[in-house]
Every structure is written in structure tokens, then in C-alpha cells.
Amino acid sequence: MKPPLPACFIILMAAASPALAAETACPTIPGKLLAQAEVYDGPVEDNAVLAPDTSTGTVSKGKNRFDVSGVYAAGRHVVLGCHYKGEAKPVFVEIKTKVKTCEQVFDATAGGSLTCR
């Protein structure tokens, strides 16, 4: 039987929990790689996928940056479309709080991330 974890360790684990970051990022799902992601201007049904404002790297490994402040200035909000390898349906994250930029890091082998600040 394992000894119980110290309280400070449990608090640190809770602070690092992906559930806490899910409102401004594609969630981290243990054992699943983020294979593809989109940034939407408004509801997914409108199909208004934003193109990155800057892009570096190659098709298989790089970084995209999206300036989304105008979306909120127009009274809309950003939605992230998060596609995980081996999962048929994407996870959508609606970001109601105002953010200025979203940054997507992608790697065809190691997976990626999409975070907005």
C-alpha cells in the first residue's frame, strides 16, 4: 500500500490540472496527441476558421500565431476546434473571456498545443 500524498503535492497537482486550463486552450488528454486544431471566429456552425497571422516552421513542425482581439471587439468570441489522434470527434472549447492571441504549436510526431492568452 502506498503512503498518502502530502497536501502540498495534491494542491500543486490540482493547480496544474488541464481541466483548469481548458477554458483558454485545447485540453491535454492523457495518452492522446493533439493532431490538428482550428481557431474559429464565433460559433463552429458559422465555419469561420481563422488563418494564422504569422506562421513559422514547416508543414510537419512549427508554430502559428493568431491575433484574435478583433473577434472580441466585434462582440463575438473565439472557439477552438481540437482534434486528437485516434478520436473521431473533435473537442470544442468556447472562450468567452477576452483573449488577444492564440498560439498553436504543432509537431506531426509529438502532437501539439493550442493556447490563447
Would you say residue 1 lies in a domain?
A: no
Check pLDDT > 50 for residue 77. yes
Would you say residue 83 lies in a domain?
A: yes
Report how far residue 43's alpha carbon sits from residue 65's, in angstroms, rounded to the nearest whole number: 20
Report how far residue 59's alpha carbon sits from residue 1's, in angstroms, rounded to the nearest whole number: 48
Would you say residue 2 lies in a domain?
A: no
Instruction: Provide the domain limits for residue 17.
Output: 7-116
Q: What is the pLDDT of residue 58?
A: 95
Check pLDDT > 80 for residue 19. no
Q: Which residues contact 66 (CB under 8 A, 6 or more apart)?
A: 39, 50, 52, 53, 101, 102, 103, 104
- pLDDT-based confidence at 23, cuts 50/70/90? confident
Would you say residue 63 lies in a domain?
A: yes
Buried b (16+ CB within 10 A) or exposed e, 62-73: bbbebebeebbe
Would you say residue 14 lies in a domain?
A: yes
